[in-house]
Amino acid sequence: MPLPIVTADQRLAEKRCAKVALVGAPGVGKTSQIRTLDAERTLLVDTEAGDLS
């Protein structure tokens, strides 16, 4: 099965979003930074089991 060729126009027409991993030592402000994001459009995946969902 051949791969479809995607043109630049098709690629630019797709909905895009940022995917960010916020990593740092304890106490540097990761949780404070997350609180500045729009809660309606943000998904927090807790990998440390230290934050409230």
**Angstrom distances, CA of residue 17 to CA of 2, 5, 41, 45:** 28, 22, 10, 16
pLDDT above 70 for 51: no
The answer as to whether 17 is a domain residue is: no
In a domain, 10, yes or no: no
* Per-residue pLDDT, 5: 95
For residue 40 the two structure tokens come to 């309606």
Is residue 2 domain-resident? no
Overall domain count for the chain: 1
Question: What's the confidence (pLDDT) of residue 34?
Answer: 87
22, pLDDT greater than 80:
yes
Q: Whole domain around residue 39: which residue ranges? A: 22-53
Residue 8, domain member (yes or no): no
Task: Please check whether residue 51 lies inside any domain of the structure.
Answer: yes
Has residue 12 been placed in a domain?
no
